[in-house]
Amino acid sequence: MFGYVLAKAMRKHVAGGQSNEHIYVQQFEIPQIRLFELLIQQLPLAALTQKCANALLVESLNNVQNPVLLDIGIGTGMQIVNVLQLLAQQPDCRVKQITVVGIEPFAEAIQAAEKNFAELQLPFQVSFTSFIGFVEKMMLAEIRALLPTHYDALVVNASFALHHIQQAAQREAVFGYIRDLAPKAFVLSEPVSDHFEPHYATRFHNAVTHYGLVFEVIDSLDITNKEKAALKLFFSREIDDVLGYTEDVRVEKQYATHQWLELFKTTGFTLGKLLTSYDVQKMNGAILRTDLTERYAVVFKDEEITNVFLATP
């Protein structure tokens, strides 16, 4: 199937006819964001990444009475639901009220997030506010306007979202806005592969390496063939974008580790490490590495597949 997906993307690149819509707002029979939820639940690469990020978020929020959690690309809110539930389980949790602010381009996802937050039963109050749109099209004042007037600390989360920002200058601007908000912590989770690369042959090589390993992990899972097909469908659409779409259209523009590190440093962030151990660090050959400099990583066959960064201004 992997060879077929690559061939299909290359044909699309040569023949044209690509969609002009962002991959997450295109009208598929199964929306990409629904497949993403399945991916988090069943793919060890994603599950370990989110486990790491969630632990960092809980640690950053735990000792604050009235925090704000700003999530860029919040989707249906399931990651933040898990964070809030973990937070409530901490014996030393000091949170009395938390404001969740979600920025998300997919309107139906925001509706689902509102429902998911409304159904929570927690020992602290949760308020949710949202903005439907792309963060790179917002100004700093618009982001500030989403925050409450008074709060004790701001924590920012972006999970597998910021590589969709098409232009390097836009990424630098968004990072600059986050820095200017002076968060207590900025937690970023991203895939590791240079798909920002404009040279097609180089980008093709990077994509084959990255997605080839991802498909190998999927094939190793003890799940049904239908579930494997659904996971592969998610990444097949990504491959279509990476290798089939023109530069002005495609949005799957993942960075390699060194590119994210450079962006953090260029925009005035300091990278650190909060936690060094987790309950589960290995799943189906994927390993969560907590011993790396300035980052955490999920590794498969000695290749970093995802990174998690913890940054402060």
pTM, entire model: 0.91
Distance in angstroms (rounded) separating the CA atoms of residues 184 and 58: 12
Q: Check if the beta carbon of residue 68 is closer than 8 Å to that of residue 153.
A: yes
Q: What is the DSSP string of 205-244?
A: HHHHHHHHHHHHHHHHSSS-HHHHHHHHHHHHHHHHHHHH
Which residues sit opposite 104 in a β-bridge? 132
CA-to-CA separations, 59 to 90, 184, 282, in angstroms, rounded: 9, 11, 21
Topology at the third CATH level for domain 2-312: Rossmann fold (3.40.50)
Q: What's the rounded mean pLDDT across residues 177-197?
A: 98
Which residues sit opposite 309 in a β-bridge? 188
Asked if pLDDT for residue 299 goes beyond 80, the answer is yes
Residue spans per domain, the chain: 2-312
At 28 the pLDDT is 46
Asked if pLDDT for residue 21 goes beyond 70, the answer is no
At 37 the pLDDT is 74
Amino acid sitting at position 265: K
Distance in angstroms (rounded) separating the CA atoms of residues 290 and 310: 12
Residues 6+ apart with CB under 8 A from 56: 185, 187, 274, 275, 308, 310
- As a whole-number percent, the residues of the chain with pLDDT over 90 amount to 75
Round the average pLDDT of the chain to a whole number and report it. Answer: 91
- As a whole-number percent, the residues of the chain with pLDDT over 70 amount to 91
What digits encode the pLDDT tens for the residues 144-184? 999 999 999 999 999 999 999 999 999 999 999 999 999 99
Select from 114, 53, 124 the least CA-distant residue to 309: 53
At 144 the pLDDT is 98
Return the higher-pLDDT residue of 32 and 273: 273
Asked if pLDDT for residue 20 goes beyond 70, the answer is no
Asked if pLDDT for residue 13 goes beyond 90, the answer is no
At 23 the pLDDT is 47
CA torsion sign, 310 to 251 to 50 to 290? negative
Which residues sit opposite 131 in a β-bridge? 103
At 32 the pLDDT is 63
Select from 176, 177, 221, 169 the least CA-distant residue to 196: 169
What digits encode the pLDDT tens for the residues 73-118? 999 999 999 999 999 999 999 999 999 999 999 899 999 999 999 9
Tokens of residue 215, six digits: 């498909």
